[in-house]
Structure formats: structure tokens, C-alpha cells
Structure 1
Amino acid sequence: MSKRKRFIVTSIILSLGFVGIQFLPSQYRFVSIGFLGTLTLILFFWSLREGLGLNMTLVTLTLPIIFTLGVGFFWFLLPANALARIPIVVFYGFGIYALCLTTNIYTVSAIRTIALLRAARGVGFILTLLSFFLIFDTILSLKWPIYFYALISVLTSFPLFFHGFWTIELSKSFSIRTGRFSLVASVIMGEIAIALFFWPTSIVVGSLFLTVTAYILLGLGQAELEGRLFSQTVREYLLIGLAVFIGMFFVTRWGG
């Protein structure tokens, strides 16, 4: 079976998986999402097996798994009707297919440079930010204690940052620099998440602010890894962050 056919099969099976879990009892919702995450790992490994090895190319499997988990947890926050959930299934199916294509480009580019790499990085960047939003929307919705909330924020951010930074270097061996960048960015995300814990903002606004923070950190880190971190680049990212912060400040209902 060709790679493209495997990508289509992977997208269809995982999309049908989301349809199937709708018919399961509510007590099995987290187990079913965990199963879909495992199934995502298996199907992507099968789809990309020619380009994967016992090295850092396995990092390409990170984003598809987290994307599945993010959409899955967000799925249960939606109203229990078809009109709300069918678009999510369609969105997820296209997202998985796009991830199949981008991760395939990453694994090939780890061996040789190809022309589609920059486009794949752009798509991967967008899907990474979507995953950030879905994950943080779920975290903020669960109303955990602050210490657990901060820890989960750091732990979920690290693999997304590591994947995003790794796509710049595409090294088959572990890069201490990439790991350091990912750790620092994840800790910053955790600190900002703690600050938002005390901020009387809505879940959606808080998730958007954390996603914009991830956008800034990921963008600056990738620019540094590419050797393009100029003062103008830093100013542009910081201006975006400032604008979003001001917007969040004004939409916050301070009166309770």
C-alpha cells in the first residue's frame, strides 16, 4: 500500500474512532480518548515506518498524539448533539491527514533536504498552536488545584515545544540546545498559567492568551535556531503579545 493510501486510511479510521466514542457511556470517556491516542501512535508509525528509526525521528509522532488528545478532550466539552460534533470530526480528519503529510516531510527531510520543508513547518506550526489551544482549554475547564494545574501546563507544553523546535534542526540525535529551549519555554508557560489562575478571565480568553504566549515563545525559539532572531523579529512578537494582553485586560470582568 502506498504512503498516500496509508495516510487516507489513518485519517478515516481515527475520524471514525471519534464517531464511535460518542456511543460509549460517559464513564469511559477518558479511557476512550487514551485508546484513540494509542491508536494514533500505532497508525502513524505504520504510515511513516520507512522514515522512522530508533532515533529522534520518533519525535514526529508527538504532535499527532497530542492533537488527538486535545481534540478528544475538547470533544467532551461540546454540546451532545450532531450539529456541534460533526464539524469537529471533519476538522479532525483533515487535521490528521495534514499531519500525515507534514510528518512524512519531516522524516524525509531528516535524511535529505526537500523543497516542501518550509511549507510543512508552516502547517506544523499552525497545528501545534491549535493543539496548545485545545489542551489549555481543557486544562482551564477542569478547575484543578493550582499546583496540579501548573505541573500539567508544563508537562503538556514541553513535548509540543520540543517537537516545534526539533522541526528546525531535524537532527537524528538528541540536541541539548533544543531540550533547553523547550524546558525554558515550558516553565514560562507554567508560570503564566499560574498567573492566569488568579486572573478573572473566561476559559476561552485564557486559552487564547496561553496560545499566543506559545506562539511567541515558539516563534522566537525557531528564529533563534534558524539564526534569524533579529531585533525587529523580537519587537514584532512582543508587540503581538502586548496587544493580546491589553485586549485580555479590557475584556476581563473585574467586577465579578
Structure 2
Amino acid sequence: MTKRRKFLIASFVLSLGFVGIQFLDNPYKIDAIFVLSLVTSILFLWSLWEGIGKNSTLLTLILPAFFTGGVGVFWFLLPSNVFARLPMIIFYGLGIYALSLTMNVFTVSAVRTIALLRAARGVGFVLTLITLFLIYNAILSLKIPFWGSAPLITALSFPLFLQGFWTIPLDKKISKDLLILSLVSSLVVGEISVSLFFWPATLVVGSIFLTVAVYILLGLGQAKLEQRLFRQTVREYLLVGILVFIGMFFATHWGG
């Protein structure tokens, strides 16, 4: 069976899984999403079996599983009608297929360089941001105190930072520098989430702000790993952060 056919099967099966979750009672839906995330990893392992070994190529299983979990928890925030949820199922299926192609490029590029690598990095970068936005949105919607939400945000950000940074060197072993960079970036996002507890920002604005922080940290980190961390690059990323902060300031209702 060709890889492309495996990718299509995985996308179809996982999309059906999301449809099936809707027929479960609410107490079982969270568990079902967790199971579906595990199934995502299993299906991706099956699809990418030829390129995955007992090394850092296993990191390619992280983003698909988190993408499933992110879409799953965001699902609960959607209106319970077909017009809101059908587009999300379509988006999820297309996202899984795009991730299949992207992770395949990474596993192949870990052995030899191919022309599609830069495009795959771009797709992976965008899907990482989307995934974390959905996860942050779900966490902030719980309205738990910052001493609970900040560690959770830090812990969930770390694997995605690690996978995102790894896509640059694509080494078979995870270096100490990669771990430190991922840990520091995750801690920074966690600290920023603490500030949101004292900022009367809306759920969406807060989620966007955290996602932009990931955009800056992941972008600068990848540029550093590529040895392309020029002043102009830093200015561009910081400019985005400043503009988002200004927009967040004016979008906040300060009147209480």
C-alpha cells in the first residue's frame, strides 16, 4: 500500500472518529478525545513506519496527536449545530492529511535532504500555531487560577516547541541545546499566561496573545538553529509582538 493511500485512510478514519464522538454522552467525550489522540499517533506510526526509527523521528508523532486533542477540546466550545461543526470536521480531516504529508517529509529529510523540506517546515509551523491556539483557548476557557493554568500551558507547550525546533536540524538524537531552548520557550509562554490572569482580556484575545508569543519564540528559535538570526529577523518578529500587544490593549474592556 502506498503512503498516500495510508494518509487518506488515516484522515478518513480519524474524521469518522470525530463524528462518532458526537454520539457519546458528555462524560465520555473527553476520554474519547484522549483515546482518539492516541489512535492518531498509532495511525501516523503505521503511515510513516518506513521512515520512523527508535530515535528523534518519533517526534513527528507529537503534532498530529496534539492537533487531534486541540481540535477535540475546542469542539466543546462550538455551538451544537451542524453548520458550526461540519466545517470543523472538514478542517480536521484536511489538517490531518496535511500533517501526514508534512511529517512524511520530515522523516525522509532526516535521512536525506529533499526539495519539499522548506515548504513542510512552513506548514508545520502554521499547524503548530493553530494547534496551540486551540489548546490555549480551551485551557483559558476553564477559568482556573494561574497556578493551575500556567503549569498546564507550559507542559503542553514544551513537546510542540521541541518538535518545532527539531524540524530544523532533523538530527537523529535530541541535543541538549534543543531541550534547553524548548524548555525556556515553554516557560516564557507559561509566564505570559500568568500575566493574562491579571489582564481583563477576552478568551479569544488571550489565546491569540499566547499564540503570537509562540510565533515569536518558535520563529526566532528556528532562525537561531538555522543560523539566520539577523537583526532584521528579530525586528520583524518583535514588531509583530508589539502590534499584537497594542491591539490587545485597545481590545480590552477596562471598565470592568
Task: Identify whether the pair has TM-score above 0.5, normalized to the shorter chain.
Answer: yes
C-alpha distance in 1 between matches for 2:12 and 2:32: 17
CA distance in 2, matches of 1:170, 1:9: 27
Other-structure match for 1:78:
78
Structure 1 residue 139 corresponds to structure 2 residue 144 = no
CA shift for structure 1 position 145: 2.1
Aligned to 1:150: 150
Give structure 1 stretches of 5+ with no counterpart.
none
Instruction: Name the structure 1 match of 2:197.
Output: 197
Aligned to 2:92: 92
Deviations 1:152-209 (A, max 9, x none): 0100110110011000010101211111110000000000000001110100000001
- Distance in 2 (alpha carbons) for counterparts of 1:132 and 1:86: 21
Greater CA deviation, 141-150 or 69-78? 141-150
AA of the residue aligned to 2:164: G
- Determine helix, strand or coil for the equivalent of 1:50: helix
Residue matched to 1:44: 44
Please give the secondary structure, in 2, of the residue aligned with 1:168.
coil
**AA aligned opposite 1:32:** A
Whole-angstrom distance in 1 between the partners of 2:91 and 2:197: 30
Separation in 2, partners of 1:198, 1:33: 31
Structure 2 stretches lacking a partner, 5+ long: none
Equivalent-residue separation in structure 2 for 1:22 and 1:205 (angstroms): 28
Amino acid at match of 1:27: P
Q: CA deviation at 1:76?
A: 1.0
- In the alignment, the residues of structure 2 paired with residue 191 and residue 21 of structure 1 have an alpha-carbon distance, to the nearest angstrom, of 34
How big is each residue's C-alpha offset from its partner over 1:103-133, in whole Å with a ceiling of 9 and x where there is no partner?
Answer: 0000000000000000000000000000110
The aligned counterpart of 2:167 is: 167
> TM-score scaled to structure 1, two decimals?
0.99
CA distance in 2, matches of 1:109, 1:96: 20
Runs of 4+ in structure 1 deviating by more than 3 angstroms, as ranges, are none
Please give the TM-score of this superposition, normalised by the length of structure 2. 0.99
The letter for the 2-side match of 1:208 is I
Aligned twin of 1:12: 12
For 1:92, give the aligned amino acid.
Answer: Y
Please say if residues 165 and 178 of structure 2, whose CA atoms lie closer than 8 Å, have aligned partners that are also in contact: yes
* Alignment partners' CA distance in 2, 1:29 and 1:197: 28
Q: Quote the residue 2:30 is aligned against.
A: 30
Cα deviation digits, residues 84-118 of structure 1 (max 9, x gap): 10000000000000000000000000000000000
Counterpart-to-counterpart distance in 2, 1:224 and 1:35: 36
Equivalent-residue separation in structure 2 for 1:169 and 1:196 (angstroms): 34
* Superposed displacement of residue 62, structure 1: 0.4
| Aligned-residue offset at 1:140 | 0.4
Partner of 2:57: 57
Counterpart of 2:116? Answer: 116
Take 1:88 and 1:132, find their aligned partners in 2: how far apart are those partners?
Answer: 16
Q: Provide Cα deviations, 1:22-66, integer angstroms capped at 9, x if missing partner.
A: 110001111010010011011000000000010000000000000
Aligned residue pairs total 256
Q: Give the whole-Å Cα distance in 2 for the aligned partners of 1:152 and 1:239.
A: 28
In structure 2, distance between residues paired with 1:88 and 1:176: 38
Identify the residue that residue 66 of structure 1 maps to in structure 2.
66
1:137 maps to a residue whose letter is N
